[in-house]
Structure 1
Amino acid sequence: MKKVLLTSSVVTLLLTTGNLHPTAYALENSVVSVDTTQSMPIQAVEGEEMDQHVVNLFTDITGHWAESSILNAIERGIVSGYPDGLFHPDNQVTRAEFLKLTAGSLGTEVDSSSKSGLWYDVYVKSAKLNGLYSESDFPANDWSKPMSRLEMVHVAVRAIDQAASTDKEFMYIAVKHGLISGIGNGRLDPEGTTTRAQALNVLERVQQIHSGQTLKVDAMALANAEHALNATTDYWGHVIRTTNLPKNEKNYPYILEEYPNEMYEMKPYQTIDTTSTQLSKTDLAYNSKPTLDLWKKTTESYYDHILNVDYRTINEDWANETFSYANQSARKWLADLRRYVEYVKSNKITITGSLIAEPSMVMRSNTFGEYFIRVKFEFTLKTFDKYDKVMFDPFINYFPTKLKKGMRYEGYADIPLSTNRNDYDLKIDGSTSLFNFGSIVRPSK
C-alpha cells in the first residue's frame, strides 16, 4: 500500500455533539478525561497494570470477546471511551469513524490544517490518497451511515495490500487472510453493521498481518466465501440459492442465501395484491436497478434515523433529515417529528438499530397504487422513562407485547412507498410501521 504522509493529530473516538447526524458518535482530535475520580490517568500506567486500570475504568469491556483488541487500541492511542465512563464496545461504527480509526491504526497522517468542510473530509481524502477507499465502495456516499461488514472488508483488504474486483472477492480475501471470521456457523453477514469492537479487532488483525503473522482462518466462513465466489448472484452480488426453498418461492423471481425462509414466507401487508414475480415480468420500476437502488437507499436512510435516536444529541436537524425521506405531501409529518424530538429529550430515549431493505422483495398494491419493500431490522430500546410512544411509529403502542428496555429485537416488515409526483422517486409513505399488519417482531435469537 502506498502511503501519503500529511500532517495530523492524535486519533481518539469520543462522543460529541458536533455537526453530524445527531445520533452518530463522532471522532474528534483531543482526549477527554473519562473518569476524573480515578487517581491515575490512562497515560500514566503501562503494561499489565495499564490493562487492569483500563478494565476498571471501562467496566463494560470486562470479559468481552474483543477485550484484548480494545485494550491494545487504547494503549496505542487509537481509541478512547465515552464521557459516561463506559466504552460501549457494541455501538455501531459509521463509515467516517472507521476511516479515522484506520488512519490511526496504520499511522497514516492526515492534513488537519483545513478549517472548511466536515470533520471527516480529511480522512476520506487521506483514505483515497493511500488507496484504502474507492468511491464505488459506498454507493450512497453517506459518511454518517453505519458501516456494513462488507464495506469494512473493502478497506481492510486494501490495508493489507491486497486487491479485488468484486464484493465476493473482497470477502473471500478477507476470510482467507483471517481478517474476519463468520457470525455463527461461518455466516458471512455482509450486510450486517460493524461495531466498535469488531472494527478494532479487524484493525488489530491488519497490524498482525503487517508484522508478518499468519492468522487463524475460520474454516466454515472460508467455505461459505468460496461458495459465494463461485455461485450465481443477483444484480447486487447476493448469492442465489436453489435448495431448501420457501413454500411460496413462486412469489419471488429468485431466493437469496442470506435471508431465511421466514422472511419470504411472512404474510404480506394486507393491501398487497401483486407479487415480486409478477412485477419482474412486466413492471418497469421493478426491472430498473437504479430505481430499486433509490428505493432501498430511501428506506434504509429513513429508518437509520428512526432506529438511532439519543436524547443527548437529537435536535431539529434530525426531524428535517428524517422527513426528507418521506412523502412530502404529508406536511403534518414534519411537525410530528419535531414534537417527537422534544419528547425524546424529555423522556430520555435512546434507541440503536439498523435496517436492510431488500430490492428483490418489492411487491405492489395495484388497487391502491403503492409499492412495498420488505425489510429486515434489529433494534434495542436502550433508555426511556416512559414506554408510551417510545419510537416514532404509529403502531408501536398497539403492539401486543410490551417491548423490554435493553433487549435486542429483530424482525421483518413491508414498508410502503409512495409519492405526490407522477414519477418513480418514491418516498416513505405515511402509513409506514415496523409493527403493522403481518410484521414479525421478536427478541433476537
Structure 2
Amino acid sequence: MQKGYVSGYPEGTFQPEKTVSRSEFIAMLIHSLGQASDTSTTSPWYTPYVNTATESGYYVTGDFSSDDWNAPLSRQELARIAVRVIGKTAKDNTEYMYMATSNGVLSGTGKGALNVTGTTTRAQTVTVIERISSILQGETLPVDALAVANAQEAMNAPKDPWGRAVRTTNLPKNAKDFPYILEEYPNEMYELELPFKGITEPAFKISTPAELYKTDTLIQNKKEMEKWKDNAEAYYKLLLNVDYRTINGKWATDLYSHKNQWNSVGLEEVMDYVAWAKKNKIVTEGSLVVEPSMMFYSRIGGYFIRAEFSFRIKEYTEYNEIFDDIRFHSHQGLDNLKALGKFQKGQWYHGYADIVLSTNIQDGIKRVSNTATLFNLSTIIHKKN
C-alpha cells in the first residue's frame, strides 16, 4: 500500500485474503509499473488499464477463460501476464507456468502444488508484483524447487487438442470414462455424480466422454466443440452477471439468442426475468467455463457438458429467483446443497455442474436448453475463501 499501487477499502481495511479480480490485478500491475493510462475512457473503470496492458503486450485476447473482467483472477491467468511483464514468453499455459515458477514469480501453494485454477488473494498479488519489480531491477529470485519440478512435468506431459497438459497420476476413480484427464481440473470435477443415476431403462443410458470421443463425429470435431463452448459460456456470462440498473431488453434478446429456440420457454419469459431483476434490485457477478472433453449423451437427456463456475450475489430485496435458472428457487431443498442454505450476499461460491445442450433451429449448434440448471441433484458448490 505504501507504494501506491494497491489501495484499501473505504472503511480503511486492506483485506489481504480477499480474492482479486482480473481487472483489479491489471490496474494494480499498471500502477506498479508507473505506466500512464489514457483516462478519457472510464467506463468500465478498468478500461484505461486494460488498454495499456494490451498495448504493452502484457495482456492478449484469449488469456482468460472468459472475457469477464470482474471474475476472480486464476493463478494460470496471473502466470501468463506476469511472464510477459518480465520480458519472456511461452507457447502454452504449461510453459507459462514453468516460466513463472522457474523465474521465482510464483511459488507452489503447498508441497509445490501449482493449483492453476486457484484464485489469488490481495496479499498474494502484492507479493507477485513485488517479485516482478525485483526481476525488472535485475535481481535473481529464489524459486520453489518442487513447484518448478511440477511445472516442468506438466509442460512435458502429453497435451490434448487444445494444447492443455494431460495428467497420468493421481487420477479420478472414474478416469476410464474420459478420453483423458486434464492437469487443470481436480478429481472432484471428474467424479461429479451423473444424472439419471440408478435408472436402468435403455433410453436413460449415458454415453461417457470416452465413448463419444470414439464414436461421435460431432464430439471429434474440435471446431464444432469450440462453437458449443463459446455459445454456452456467452449464455452464462449474461445469466451470472446482472445489474438491475443496466439490465434491459438487449440483455434479454442476447441471452435468448444462446438458448435452444425450439424449446417452449420464449423471449417473453426472459423479459419477465428482466422486469423482476429491476423490481428486486438484483446485482450478481460470476463466470462459467465448459469443458469439451467432459461431454455426455443420453437418448432422453441429450447432450450435457460439464462446467466449472463461480458467482456471488451482491444485492437483492427478496431472496427469490436471483438467477434466471429454473431450479434456483428450490436449491435449498436439494440434499447436495442443503448445507449451504441461502447464498450469502457478497460471498463467492465455486462449483461444478452439467449443462444440458440441445439442437437449435437456426444453425445446428447445440445451444443451452431451457432445462439447463446450475442447481441440480449432482451439482457441487463450495464457498470460496
Does the pair score TM above 0.5? yes
Q: Distance in 2 between matches of 1:184 and 1:331?
A: 50
> Residue deviations 1:126-184, cap 9 Å, x none?
445433244564586x3646354323322211111122222211111112223223345
Q: Which runs of 5+ in 1 are unaligned?
A: 1-70
Counterpart CA distance in 2 for 1:367 and 1:318 is 31
Distance, in Å, in 2 between the alignment partners of 1:88 and 1:330 is 46
| Inter-partner Cα distance in structure 2 for 1:200 and 1:320 | 41
The answer to whether structure 1 residue 426 and structure 2 residue 366 are counterparts is yes
Question: Are the equivalent residues in 2 in contact too, given 1:274–1:366 (CA < 8 A)?
Answer: no
With structure 2 as the length reference, what TM-score do the two structures score? Answer: 0.79
Cα deviation for residue 357 of structure 1 reads 1.6
Asked whether the equivalents of residues 207 and 298 of structure 2 are also in contact (C-alpha less than 8 Å), the reply is yes
Q: Is the 8 Å Cα contact of residues 243 and 283 (structure 2) preserved in structure 1? A: yes
Where does residue 162 of structure 1 map in the other structure? 88
Classify 1:269/1:243 alpha carbon distance in 2 versus 1 (closer, same or farther; 3 Å).
Answer: same
TM-aligned CA distance change 1:395 to 1:351, over 3 Å: same
Query: How does 1:405-420 map onto structure 2 within 5 Å?
Result: 405-406=344-345, 407-420=347-360
Question: What is the distance in 1 between the residues matched to 2:76 and 2:366?
Answer: 27
2:306 match: secondary structure? strand
How far apart, in 1, do the equivalents of 2:19 and 2:218 lie? 36
Establish whether residue 339 from structure 1 lines up as the match of residue 278 from structure 2: no
- Measured at CA, do residues 121 and 313 of structure 1 come closer, stay the same or move farther in structure 2, by a change above 3 Å? closer
The verdict on how the C-alpha distance between 1:337 and 1:199 changes in structure 2, with shifts beyond 3 A counting, is farther
Structure 2 residue 378 is the aligned partner of structure 1 residue 378: no
| Correspondent of 2:297 among 350, 364, 370 | 364
Total equivalences in the alignment: 368
Deviation at 1:442, TM superposition (A): 4.6
Q: Equivalents in 2 of 1:100, 1:124: separation in Å?
A: 8
User: Compared with structure 1, are the counterparts of its residues 120 and 429 closer, same or farther at alpha carbon in structure 2 (3 Å cutoff)?
Assistant: same
The answer as to 2:158 corresponding to 1:232 is yes
**In structure 2, what residue type is equivalent to 1:105?**
S
In structure 2, the partner of 1:181 is 107
- CA distance, structure 2, for counterparts of residue 311 and residue 258 of structure 1: 35
Counterpart of 1:281? 214
Aligned residues of 2:360 and 2:367 also touching (Cα < 8 A): no
The correspondence of residues 207-246 of structure 1 with structure 2, limited to 5 A, is 207-246=133-172
Residue 403 of structure 1 corresponds to which residue in structure 2? 342
Q: Which moved more, 1:423-432 or 1:259-268?
A: 259-268
Post-superposition shift, 1:372?
1.0
The change in CA–CA distance for 1:158 and 1:324 in structure 2 (over 3 A counts) is same
Residue 344 of structure 1 and its aligned partner are, at CA, apart by: 3.4
Structure 2 alignment gaps of length 5 or more: 197-203
Tell whether the 8 Å contact from 2:113 to 2:147 is kept in structure 1 after alignment: yes
Q: 2:277 & 2:12 partners in 1: Cα distance?
A: 22
Q: Does 1:103 align with 2:38?
A: no
Instruction: For residue 150 of structure 2, give the secondary structure of its aligned residue in structure 1.
Output: helix
Report the AA paired with residue 376 of structure 2. N
The amino acid that maps onto 2:371 is S
In structure 2, the partner of 1:28 is: none
Please list the CA deviations of residues 203-223 of structure 1 after superposition, one character each: whole Å capped at 9, or x if unmatched.
Answer: 333223223444453344323
TM-score normalised by structure 1 residue count: 0.69
**Partners of 1:317 and 1:198 in 2: CA distance:** 38
Q: Residue 298 in 1 paired to residue 231 in 2?
A: yes
Residue 229 of structure 1 deviates from its aligned partner by 1.5
| CA distance 1:247–1:117, shift in 2 (3 Å) | closer
What is the alpha-carbon distance in structure 1 between the residues aligned to residue 7 and residue 274 of structure 2? 29
